[in-house]
């Protein structure tokens, strides 16, 4: 039996869990409405696509407010220990590294997925100018054809990237060694630190 047990407590507060699952659901709907018609499934996908896009943009704004007013960026900022963890593969000997709520790989995934989602949201909001909504009429003249081409290419690449990142995220979340952190995104309680700060227990 492993004598090194992680301290547990509230790992994710409920507003952060709501944000996570809202973003996850909106991304799933966005991917489904974008790619299922390409695969031959015909349905009126445009309303569901742009509405879920607005939900995603609102979730991102909420997250920024939470980071600015509650969490700060410190927990997600890469440091020297994160570089050592990646370059020297010291994950198995986490006692030699400083404690952290998120390890180097989680931080890297967060920043990469954050960048991809921002590209998706920014280009998607621009593309809203090309459809009619309850609030405005379509006006594609806001950009030139060449500029629209850049927007579509960026949106397409980001769409493919987010599918890969979602698959990667689900795969690692379902690994047995990550079940505790997966459950914490549902219940809130879980390991306070992903790396370091393990406590010895005598048997």
Q: Which domain holds residue 99?
A: 14-197
What share of the chain in percent tops pLDDT 90? 52
Whether 100 has a pLDDT exceeding 60, the answer reads yes
Q: What is the count of structural domains for the chain?
A: 1
Is residue 91 included in any domain, yes or no? yes
Whether 92 has a pLDDT exceeding 90, the answer reads no
Is residue 135 included in any domain, yes or no? yes
CA separation for the pair 106, 174 (Å, rounded): 15
CA separation for the pair 168, 160 (Å, rounded): 13
pTM comes to: 0.82
Residue bearing the bigger pLDDT, 1 or 35 = 35
- Give the residue carrying structure tokens 């090194």: 4
CA 132 to chain centre: 29
Q: Which two tokens stand for residue 147?
A: 């500029």
For residue 49, give the CATH number of its domain.
1.20.950.20
Is residue 1 included in any domain, yes or no? no
Dihedral sign of CA atoms 29, 32, 48, 136 in order = positive
pLDDT of residue 200: 32
Is residue 202 included in any domain, yes or no? no
Is residue 3 included in any domain, yes or no? no
């Amino acid at each position: 039996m492993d004598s090194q047990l992680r301290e547990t407590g509230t790992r994710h507060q409920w507003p952060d869990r709501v944000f996570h699952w809202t973003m996850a659901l909106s991304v799933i709907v966005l991917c489904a409405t974008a790619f299922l018609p390409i695969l031959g499934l015909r349905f009126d996908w445009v309303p569901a696509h742009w509405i879920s896009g607005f939900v995603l943009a609102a979730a991102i704004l909420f997250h920024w407010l939470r980071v600015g007013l509650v969490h700060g960026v410190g927990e997600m900022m890469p440091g020297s220990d994160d570089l050592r963890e990646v370059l020297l593969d010291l994950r198995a000997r986490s006692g030699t590294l400083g404690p952290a709520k998120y390890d180097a790989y989680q931080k890297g995934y967060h920043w990469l997925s954050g960048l991809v989602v921002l590209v998706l949201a920014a280009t998607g909001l621009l593309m809203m100018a090309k459809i009619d909504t309850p609030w405005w009429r379509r006006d594609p003249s806001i950009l030139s054809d060449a500029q629209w081409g850049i927007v579509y290419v960026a949106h397409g690449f980001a769409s493919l990237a987010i599918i890969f990142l979602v698959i990667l995220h689900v795969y690692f979340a379902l690994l047995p060694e990550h079940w505790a952190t997966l459950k914490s995104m549902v219940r809130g309680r879980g390991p306070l630190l992903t790396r370091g700060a393990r406590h010895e227990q005598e048997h």
